[in-house]
Structure 1
Amino acid sequence: MTLRPPSTRILAPDQGLIILNCSREKLVTSAPVAALDLYQGACVPQARDHFAADPSRRARIRILSAAHGLLRPEKAISTYDHRLTNRVDAVRLHERTVSGQLDAELAETPSLRHLLIVVEPLYLLALQRVFDHLDRFDQIAVIPDPWGWWDGLTYLHQWGWA
């Protein structure tokens, strides 16, 4: 779903944000590791590989975790097992964690205008705060499939990030 026509210009890193679903497949480790390295499933590995040589755009990835909310790629976390399984838990995650994290993200990056969300539908409920700020965005692309990296590349090409 795209709310506005796609942009054809090259976006500066602070103009775009990518939100990815966490995954059940995780690196097995006893020590905390960077969130982008912890998750081994869904489209996180493709994003990690795609932005490996581009730290400024890699920093514009957030991972939506059922246990931690929105994680920055470098945030050190330990292996855990927690999944959203119902609407009540998704709304609770939004209210307790994600809403405030999104507000902080928007305040920290006033130039943010393009958003790519690649998460399963239940996790999208935890991101409902995004839709309170529609007037701020030129483009919000939602891919309701945590394995939808290839669909997401279409938008990254439009942004000049692929």
Structure 2
Amino acid sequence: MTTPTAGPPAVARPTASMDGLVVIGCSRRKRSGTTPVPALELYQGWCFPQLRERIADRPEYRSSTLILSARHGLLGADDPITPYHQVLTPERALSQRDLVSTALVGHLERSPAREVLLLLEPLYFQMLGLPPLPVVHLVSDPVTYWPQVTRVLDGWGWTA
């Protein structure tokens, strides 16, 4: 009598939050309506369509995606919000910096990340206070440089 052999041992893949964290600045173009929707679904401009296409059905990636909002500060991809209009001025960026920094540190304590990919225009970058991290990727024009963004995400194993 032969005993069935087991296949190769399963290799535990790290969760997305262990690999990386994406922080993306909000966009002026938003979905219309009055019903709250997940933040990632609200924003329609900039590189949100490309990012949504990549992570839409992947909760582990969505939980490692934060949105920096001119009005609301740091949001999770699935935080429900309604459309709004808020221009990010240098004064507003400075006034929100401590709140945003505290929220980011809290997120990183709950979900550590070895790398952070920042998809932020310069004024949004000023709004964000970064704790020390081994690797930070900054792409200030992710629409033009989307191939560089995908290389980082591919390196983390964030495949569509």
TM over 0.5: same fold?
yes
* In structure 2, distance between residues paired with 1:65 and 1:149: 21
Percent identity of the aligned residues? 36
* In structure 1, distance between residues paired with 2:85 and 2:42: 12
* In structure 1, distance between residues paired with 2:74 and 2:146: 18
* Pair 1:54 & 2:55 matched: no
Native 8 Å contact 1:11 1:159 kept in 2: no
Structure with larger Rg = 2
Q: Which residue of 2 aligns with 1:106?
A: 108
Which 4+ stretches in 1 moved above 6 angstroms? Answer: none
Structure 2 matches for 1:97-136, cutoff 5 A?
97-109=99-111, 111-127=112-128, 129-130=129-130, 133-134=131-132
* Pair 1:40 & 2:36 matched: no
Structure 2 matches for 1:62-73, cutoff 5 A?
62-73=66-77
- TM (normalized to structure 2)? 0.83
* Pair 1:155 & 2:158 matched: no
Number of residues of Structure 1 aligned to a counterpart in Structure 2 = 145
Q: Which residue of 2 aligns with 1:12?
A: 15
Aligned AA for 1:119? L
RMSD over equivalenced CA pairs, Å: 1.6
* In structure 2, distance between residues paired with 1:51 and 1:68: 22
Task: Structure 1: give runs of 5+ residues left out of the alignment.
Answer: 1-9
Compare relative contact order (CA 8 Å, sep 6+) and give the higher one, 1 or 2: 1
Task: Structure 2: give runs of 5+ residues left out of the alignment.
Answer: 1-12
